[in-house]
């Protein structure tokens, strides 16, 4: 304790001044979110990049946040942003972020409110996915991390708990997924030391994994002395939004003795959409694990994802470990069980549950259901408008919220790719719309993944008009 009652230089010296400055800044932030339409992505000017250098500026931090930070976000709150798969963020996030600052929660374990809240969020998610009460989960940065956790549990089932001590030795584990699988699965396979050559791509029929081809590949790998252990089902591929038939995959996984993991980063949320979109994920309840994000199609602020594991024992077996300095107590702060550090990679971890909880409690589940269903309708609308525009063409069926198209199908493949790339860049830089691009049948195409609760039909019209204009 300091004897002279001085405030630490790391706390405000004048709380009243700090409070009024912070209130004014909060208003500026709210103004921007309320008027998200006026804040498309824009490139960061060179002088702004330079001003980030630590210790070089005199203006107050709130002034600099207003001039150098707020205008240069990634653009995802804007109603005409459909690039990659990025959620819009929610105003309820203001509340959760404030509460998180003041409580400064470490959610790795121990006994405090956020642990119970996280369990409630996981439990709600578990119910939406149709998992049994014996399932467990943990909130993570996103589907990339969720996938590592799920695959680690799958590997432990294949090789036994000793794998944690001895590594996997000479065993060649093999995993399977369709060609549309996200790079996150490949990364997880690499990180676990399985080697990405052992993630085999199974052919598809109408965008869905061909389960008889899968059975053939598994037999082949058994015959060569390898150990097939995992099949990844796609609930919404990142490129074109294709959904595997999860019931067929669950049958195949049972017959072939494979762990079924579902990558539902965004598409898992069709579970709370209305018909017919909800049916896309029928069978997800039969998976061994599911990875999903709240920061994409639940619109929750970055970052927040979740892994669910059907069997809590298998989940814990892959991660639980409590050295002496983390022993739980019978009571007090070190009490409480389970601790989330026994379910994943991180020990110290923030209170991610709060932003999901505030979102659900503020707007209600029906509002999410409507927004997700509405995004699917808008993707279908986009496809129909593209279809009736001269020379534009939708290049993959629109299953849910992803629409991929070319701006001019009459051009040769290379010229189409160049045109679509140029259009996406022009529209981004003009602040008109954000499409990303991807390859479909060797052609670079424009791609919209509508995970945006602010998009209206008129936004689609305006963006497609901008595409036409840019096409020239």
Ligand X SMILES: *Cc1c(COP(=O)(O)O)cnc(C)c1O
**Minimum CB distance to ligand X, residue 144 (Å):** 3
Q: Is the dihedral of CA 290, 293, 299, 301 positive or negative?
A: positive
Residue among 265, 298, 433, 470 that touches ligand X (CB under 6 A): 265
164: phi then psi, degrees, rounded to nearest 5: -65, -30
Q: According to CB under 6 A, which residues from 240 to 259 bind ligand X?
A: none
Could you tell me if 463 and 428 are in contact, meaning their C-beta atoms sit under 8 angstroms apart?
Answer: no
Residue closer to ligand X (CB basis): 240 or 392: 240
Give the one residue of 143, 178, 281, 455 binding ligand X; rule: CB under 6 A: 143
- In 161-257, alpha helices (H): 163-166, 183-191, 211-223, 246-256
Structure tokens at 237: 């591929």
| Candidate segments 141-149, 170-178, 348-356, 381-389, binder of ligand X by CB under 6 A | 141-149
Using rule CB under 6 A, residue 304 touches ligand X: no
Residue 67 — φ and ψ, nearest 5°? -85, -35
Residues 6+ apart with CB under 8 A from 87: 76, 293, 294, 295, 296, 297, 298, 299, 300, 301, 302, 451, 452
The smaller minimum CB distance to ligand X, of residues 110 and 447, is found at 447
Give the C-alpha separation, 19 to 15, whole Å.
6
Tell the smallest beta-carbon distance from residue 402 to ligand X (Å). 10
Q: Supply 116's token pair.
A: 């119970």
Interaction residues for ligand X, span 148-207 (CB under 6 A): 182, 184
Residue nearest to ligand X (CB): 142
Question: Which of 79, 83, 142, 283: binder of ligand X (CB under 6 A)?
Answer: 142
CA atoms within 13 Å, Cβ hemisphere of 160: 5
Instruction: Kindly state the tokens that stand for 33.
Output: 């979110």
Q: Which is nearer to ligand X, 143 or 178 (CB)?
A: 143
Q: How far is the CB of 359 from ligand X (least distance, A)?
A: 17
Q: How many residues of this chain bind ligand X (CB under 6 A)?
A: 13
Question: Looking at 293, 314, 342, 432, which residue binds ligand X (CB under 6 A)?
Answer: 293
The piece of 50-58, 125-133, 263-271, 364-372 that touches ligand X (CB under 6 A) is: 263-271
- Give the tokens for residue 290: 């599911």
Quick note: the x/- pattern for ligand X over 59-98, rule CB under 6 A, is --------------------------x-------------
Question: What DSSP line would sit under 127-175, residue for residue?
Answer: HHHT--TT-EEEEESSHHHHHHHHHHHHHHHHH-TTHHHH--TT--EEE
Please identify, using beta-carbon distances, which residue of 294 and 343 lies nearer to ligand X: 294
CB of 79 to ligand X, least distance (A): 21
Question: What phi and psi values does residue 70 have, to the nearest 5 degrees?
Answer: -55, -40
Best CA proximity match to 451, nearest among 387, 372, 381: 372
**Span interacting with ligand X, options 15-23, 164-172, 261-269, 314-322, rule CB under 6 A:** 261-269
Q: Of these, 236, 283, 344, 350, which contacts ligand X (CB under 6 A)? A: 236
C-beta closer to ligand X: residue 155 or 182: 182
To ligand X, the closest distance from the beta carbon of 142 in angstroms equals 2
Structure tokens at 62: 């709130």
Min CB(56)–ligand X separation in Å? 33
Q: Looking at 51-59, 142-150, 281-289, 323-331, which segment touches ligand X (CB under 6 A)?
A: 142-150
As measured in angstroms, the least distance from the Cβ of 327 to ligand X is: 32
- Please, which residues have CB within 8 angstroms of residue 147's CB and are 6 or more apart in sequence? 184, 185, 187, 188, 261, 263, 291, 307
Q: Which is nearer to ligand X, 85 or 450 (CB)?
A: 85
Count of beta carbons in the 10 Å neighbourhood of residue 448:
30
Distance CA 432, CA 465 (A): 10
Instruction: Find all residues with CB under 8 Å of 325, minimum gap 6, and list them.
Output: none
Instruction: Enter the tokens of residue 51.
Output: 């001003």
CA distances from 216 to 40, 210, 228, 255, 265 (A): 49, 10, 12, 12, 28
Q: Which stretch binds ligand X (CB under 6 A): 87-95, 139-147, 374-382, 412-420?
A: 139-147
> Closer to ligand X at the Cβ: 221 or 293?
293
- Spell out the residues 6+ positions from residue 224 whose beta carbon is closer than 8 angstroms to its own: none
Whichever of 140 and 159 has its CB closer to ligand X, that residue is 140
Q: Which of 266, 297, 357, 405 binds ligand X (CB under 6 A)?
A: 266
Q: In the complex, which residues of this chain contact ligand X (CB under 6 A)?
A: 85, 142-144, 182, 184, 236, 238, 263, 265-266, 293, 305
């Amino acid at each position: 304790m300091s004897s002279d009652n001085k405030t630490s230089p790391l706390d405000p010296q004048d709380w009243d001044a700090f409070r009024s400055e912070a209130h004014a800044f909060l208003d500026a932030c709210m103004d921007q979110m309320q008027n998200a339409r006026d804040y498309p992505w824009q490139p960061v000017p060179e002088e702004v990049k330079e001003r980030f250098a630590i210790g070089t500026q005199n203006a107050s931090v709130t002034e600099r946040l207003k001039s150098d930070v707020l205008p240069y976000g990634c653009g995802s709150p804007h109603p005409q942003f459909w690039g990659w798969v990025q959620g819009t963020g929610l105003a309820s996030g203001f509340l959760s972020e404030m509460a998180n600052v003041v409580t400064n929660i470490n959610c790795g374990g121990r006994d405090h409110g956020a642990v119970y809240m996280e369990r409630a969020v996981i439990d709600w998610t578990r119910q939406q996915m149709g998992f049994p009460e014996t399932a467990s989960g943990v909130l993570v940065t996103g589907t990339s991390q969720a996938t590592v956790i799920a695959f680690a549990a799958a590997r432990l089932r294949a090789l036994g708990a000793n794998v944690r001590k001895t590594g996997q030795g000479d065993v060649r584990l093999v995993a399977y997924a369709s060609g549309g699988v996200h790079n996150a699965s490949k990364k997880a396979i690499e990180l676990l030391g399985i080697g990405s050559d052992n993630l085999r791509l199974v052919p598809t029929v109408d965008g869905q994994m061909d389960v008889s081809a899968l059975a053939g590949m598994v037999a082949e790998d058994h015959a060569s002395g390898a150990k097939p252990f995992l099949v990844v089902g796609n609930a919404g591929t990142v490129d074109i939004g294709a959904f595997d038939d999860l019931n067929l995959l669950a049958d195949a996984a049972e017959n072939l003795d494979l762990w079924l993991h579902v990558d539902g980063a965004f598409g898992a949320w069709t579970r709370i959409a209305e018909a017919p979109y909800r049916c896309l994920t029928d069978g997800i309840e039969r998976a061994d694990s599911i990875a999903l994000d709240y920061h994409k199609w639940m619109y929750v602020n970055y970052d927040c994802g979740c892994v669910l594991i059907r069997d809590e024992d298998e989940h814990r077996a892959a991660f639980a470990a409590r050295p002496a300095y983390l022993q739980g107590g019978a009571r007090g702060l070190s009490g409480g069980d389970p601790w989330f550090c026994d379910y994943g990679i991180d020990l110290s971890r923030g209170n991610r549950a709060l932003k999901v909880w505030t979102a659900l409690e503020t707007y209600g589940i029906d509002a999410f259901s409507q927004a997700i269903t509405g995004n699917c309708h808008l993707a279908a609308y986009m496809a129909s408008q593209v279809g009736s525009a001269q020379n534009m063409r939708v290049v993959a069926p629109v299953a849910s919220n992803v629409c991929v198209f070319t701006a001019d199908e009459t051009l040769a493949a290379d010229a189409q790719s160049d045109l679509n790339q140029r259009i996406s860049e022009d529209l981004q830089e003009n602040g008109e719309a954000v499409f990303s691009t991807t390859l479909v049948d060797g052609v670079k195409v424009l791609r919209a993944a509508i995970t945006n609760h602010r998009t209206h039909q008129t936004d689609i019209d305006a963006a497609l008009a901008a595409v036409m204009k840019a096409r020239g």
